[in-house]
Structure 1
Amino acid sequence: MIAVLVAAAVGLLSAFLPFTPAEPYLIATVATTSAPPVALGVAAAAGQTVGKVLIFLGARGAIRSTWLQRRLRRDAPAVPARPGRLGTMLARPKAAGARLVEVLERPHQSTGMLLVSAVTGLPPLLAASVYLGRTPMRPAAFAVTCLLGRAIRFVTVALAPQLAGY
């Protein structure tokens, strides 16, 4: 039981500090104790989801703050036009990036991206949490998707020592 609570705490800590991943804790705990791997994986996923939801909500609040919006408008440098062939070459990736951002702001695409990020770590879930804080995604949808993805990842990692014969 204590190992499961510690797994939740490690998950919560790793949500904010990417250099303290939960995966090594899960593997070591399953390999050296009789703690149930599925419970450990779900606990770590729940802890990390709580942390990522706080990051998501924090990014949403910071991005929508009137102080930050005024500051960004005031400090934004004027972008000079890029004439010639170099300007045309640089404009294409920028336009493609703008289209990608537009697509990711649609709820179904952003949910898919979040699920992939939560399961694979690509893009990093911390970055996805901050990015999605500025989209219309609902916090409940974010939490459920993040929990599902992290549970898949962490339960799979926690079951690895058993599959390897430890």
Structure 2
Amino acid sequence: MSSLAEAVLALGYGLASALVPIVNAEAYAVVAGHRGGHALVAVLALALGQTAGKLLLFEAARRGTGRLAQRLAHRSRSGRAAAAGARWAGRTQRWLSRRRSALPTVLVSATVGVPPLAVVSLAAGTAGLRHWEFAVACLLGRVFRFALLVLPATLAYGVFHK
């Protein structure tokens, strides 16, 4: 497969995996490493696709600030669950509204996956984090995550295909 085809495929897969939870970008990264060849291209394109998808979530949350929380609270069957959800949302939003804690949280989430990046993307959008700051932190974390996943597979491919 050419590097351009690999880039387009990985970019699309990254975008899809950012929006559809059952599409697994990490599995794609490992497979790309096993194929060898254009693993670096796959890592970068996959990270760009994921970042673009998370920016869509970020922007959706920013434009619909408050609506999601209202819908979730309204659909909740018990007042206790609604209260717990409201407390969690408030804490997360306060944490992400502080510049000192917002960017490290996004970076850790994008790298490690805890807290889930989809949740952080939505919360960061409602907390007023700047687009470019979120995008840079997300992209750096995703590149690092995918590179760590691809490296062992690429090394194994090199050892067994000499």
Q: Identify the TM-score tier after normalising by the shorter chain.
A: 0.7 to 0.9
| Alpha-carbon shift at residue 103 of structure 1 (Å) | 3.6
Matched to 1:41, the amino acid is V
When normalised by structure 2's length, the TM-score is: 0.77
Structure 1 residues 6 and 110, CA gap change in structure 2 (3 angstroms):
same
> Which secondary structure state, in structure 2, belongs to the residue aligned with residue 19 of structure 1?
coil
Structure 1 residues 60 and 30, CA gap change in structure 2 (3 angstroms):
same
> Does structure 1 conserve the Cα–Cα contact (< 8 Å) formed by 2:92 and 2:123?
no
Structure 1 stretches of 5 or more lacking a match?
A: 81-93
The residue that corresponds to 2:94 in the other structure is 102
The answer to whether 1:17 aligns with 2:12 is no
* Distance in 1 separating the partners of 2:91 and 2:16: 34
The answer to whether 1:5 aligns with 2:13 is no
When normalised by structure 1's length, the TM-score is: 0.75
* Aligned pairs, number: 145
* Distance in 2 separating the partners of 1:34 and 1:98: 46
Kindly provide the CA deviation profile for residues 62-117 of structure 1, in whole angstroms up to 9, marking residues without a partner as x. Answer: 116xxx49x77xx6xxxx9xxxxxxxxxxxxx6x9866653432022011100000
The 5 A counterparts of 1:148-159 are: 148-159=140-151
Structure (1 or 2) with the larger CA radius of gyration? 1
* Distance in 1 separating the partners of 2:17 and 2:132: 21
| Alpha-carbon shift at residue 140 of structure 1 (Å) | 0.8
Structure 2 stretches of 5 or more lacking a match?
A: 80-86
> Which secondary structure state, in structure 2, belongs to the residue aligned with residue 50 of structure 1?
helix
Identity percentage of aligned residues: 33
Structure 1 residues 32 and 163, CA gap change in structure 2 (3 angstroms):
closer
Matched to 1:63, the amino acid is T
The residue that corresponds to 1:135 in the other structure is 127
More helix per residue = 2
The residue that corresponds to 2:82 in the other structure is none
C-alpha RMSD of the superposition: 2.9
